Chain A
Amino acid sequence: MEALLALIVGVLTACGVYLILRGRTFPLVLGLTLLSYAVNLFLFATGRLAIGLPPIIDRNLAETIGGYTDPLPQALVLTAIVIGFAMTAFLIMLALKARAELGNDHVDGRPDPGDRA
Chain B
Amino acid sequence: MNLFFVILIPFVGAGLTGWMSRFGRTPSAWTAGCVTLLALLGLLPSAAAPFLGETLVQRWPWIPDIGLDLALRLDGLGLLFALMILGIGLLIILYARYYLSERDSLGLFYAYLLLFMGSMLGIVLSENLILLLMFWELTSLTSFLLIGFWREREDARKGARMALTITGLGGLALLGGFLLLGEMAGSYDLSTILASGDRVRAHPLYTPMLVLILLGAFTKSAQFPFHFWLPHAMAAPTPVSAYLHSATMVKAGVFLLARLFPVLSGTPEWSWLVGGAGLATLLVGAWFALYKHDLKGLLAYSTISHLGLITLLFGIGTPLAAVAGVFHIINHATFKASLFMAAGIIDHECGTRDMRRVNGLWKFMPYTATLAMVAAAAMAGVPLFNGFLSKEMFFAETATFYTEHDWGWLLPLFVVIAGMLAVAYSLRFIHDVFFNGDPIDLPRTPHEPPFWMKAPVGVLVALCLLVGILPMLTVEPILTVAVASVLQTSSPVHSLAIWHGVNLPFLMSIAALIGGLLIYAARRPLFALAAQLEGRLDAQAMYRWTLGRVIAFAAWITRHLETGSLQRMLLLFVLSVLTLSAAGFVGSGSPLTGIRATLPVDILGVLVTAGILSAAIGTLALHRRRLTALIVMGALGLLIALIFVQFSAPDLALTQLTVEVVTIVLLLLALYFLPQRSPVESSRATRIRDLGVAALAGAGTAALTWAMLTRPFASISDYFLANSLPGGGGTNVVNVILVDFRGFDTLGEITVLALAGLGIYAMLHDLRLQGPTQDADGRPWNWDMHPSIMAALTRLLLPLVLLVSVFILLRGHNLPGGGFIAGLIAAVGLIMQYLTNGVEWTHRRLSDNLHPVIGAGLLIALITGLASLVLGYPFLTSTFTHVHWPIVGDFELASAMAFDLGVYLVVVGATLLILIHLGLMHRASHPTSSNPMESR
Contact = CB atoms under 8 A, between A and B. Distances in A.
Interface string A28-48: 111001100110111011111
23 contacts: A1-B598, A6-B709, A7-B613, A10-B703, A11-B616, A11-B617, A15-B698, A19-B620, A23-B567, A28-B566, A41-B643, A44-B647, A56-B733, A56-B816, A71-B724, A77-B652, A79-B745, A87-B756, A93-B764, A96-B674, A99-B769, A100-B769, A108-B566
Given A68-B721, A93-B918, A81 B659 contact: yes
A30 B681 contact: no
B605 A4 contact: yes
Q: Rank and list the top 10 A-B pairs by shortest CB-CB distance, nearest first.
A: A10-B702, A14-B698, A86-B756, A18-B694, A71-B733, A6-B706, A75-B737, A17-B694, A57-B731, A6-B705
B717 A70 contact: yes
Given A21-B693, A34-B619, A46-B708, A99 B656 contact: no
B613 A8 contact: yes
Interface in B617-652: 617, 619-620, 623, 626, 629-630, 633, 636-637, 640, 643-644, 646-652
B738 interface: yes
Interface stretch (B112-120, B423-431, B683-691): B683-691
Interface in A46-77: 46-59, 62, 65, 68-72, 74-75, 77
Given A69-B647, A70-B715, A79-B738, A6 B720 contact: no
B698 A11 contact: yes
A86 B757 contact: yes
A41 B612 CA distance: 12
Given A55-B733, A89-B760, 10 more contacts: A14-B699, A21-B567, A29-B667, A50-B647, A57-B732, A71-B724, A82-B907, A85-B663, A88-B667, A89-B663
B596 A48 contact: yes
Contact of A41 (B630, B640, B686): B640
Contacts of B746: 79
B725 A15 contact: no
B574 interface: yes
A47 B708 CA distance: 10
A42 B613 contact: no
A99 B673 contact: yes
On chain A, which size bracket covers the interface? 35 or more
A81 B697 contact: no
- Residue among B674, B695, B759, B814 facing the most chain A CB atoms (10 A cut-off): B674
B769 A44 contact: no
Contact of B709 (A25, A40, A49, A71): A49
Interface in B665-692: 666-667, 670-671, 673-675, 678-679, 681-683, 686, 690-691
Contacts of B887: none
A50 to B, nearest CB: 5
A50 B715 CA distance: 14
B690 A51 contact: no
- Residue among B643, B763, B816 facing the most chain A CB atoms (10 A cut-off): B643
B721 A65 contact: yes
Nearest to B742: A75
B644 A44 contact: yes
Contacts, number: 313
Contact of A55 (B673, B732, B768, B914): B732
- Residue among A42, A47, A84, A86 facing the most chain B CB atoms (10 A cut-off): A86
B643 A105 contact: no
Interface in B124-165: none
B613 A96 contact: no
A46 B636 CA distance: 21
On chain B, which size bracket covers the interface? 35 or more
A117 B567 CA distance: 10
Contacts of A74: 649, 651-652, 734
B847 interface: no
A5 interface: yes
B148 to A, nearest CB: 35
B602 interface: yes
Contacts of B655: 78, 81-82
B883 interface: no
Given A42-B701, A48-B713, A86-B753, A17 B693 contact: yes
A55 B620 CA distance: 35
Contacts of B764: 93, 96
Given A47-B715, A62-B725, A75-B734, A7 B760 contact: no
A100 B767 contact: yes
Given A71-B721, A88-B663, A96-B670, A54 B571 contact: no
B706 A3 contact: yes
A117 B687 CA distance: 10
A19 B623 contact: yes
Given A14-B697, A107-B566, A116-B681, A69 B759 contact: no
Contact of A113 (B633, B679, B749): B679
A13 B693 CA distance: 11
A113 B666 CA distance: 28
Contacts of B662: 85
Interface string B796-810: 000000000000000
B872 interface: no
A1 to B, nearest CB: 4
Contacts of B643: 5, 8, 41
Given A44-B644, A78-B655, A82-B820, A33 B691 contact: no
Contacts of B725: 57, 59, 62
B724 A57 contact: yes
Given A10-B702, A71-B721, A74-B649, A26 B674 contact: yes
Given A57-B724, A105-B675, A17 B756 contact: no
Contacts of A113: 679, 681
B670 A17 contact: no
Contacts of A90: 756, 759-760
Contacts of A7: 609, 613, 702
Nearest to A114: B681
B531 interface: no
A93 B706 CA distance: 36
Contact of B690 (A18, A57, A81): A18
B722 interface: yes
A24 B566 CA distance: 10
B574 A44 contact: no
Contacts of A48: 596, 709, 713
Interface string B342-364: 00000000000000000000000
A109 B497 CA distance: 79
Given A21-B690, A48-B596, A117-B683, A72 B720 contact: yes
A24 B691 contact: no
Contact of B605 (A1, A13, A50, A87): A1
A94 B752 CA distance: 17
A5 B652 CA distance: 16
A68 B733 contact: yes
Contact of B686 (A27, A33, A56, A117): A117
B568 to A, nearest CB: 8
A51 B601 CA distance: 12
B682 A116 contact: yes
B934 interface: no
Contacts of B599: 1-2, 49, 51
B124 to A, nearest CB: 49
A46 B717 CA distance: 12
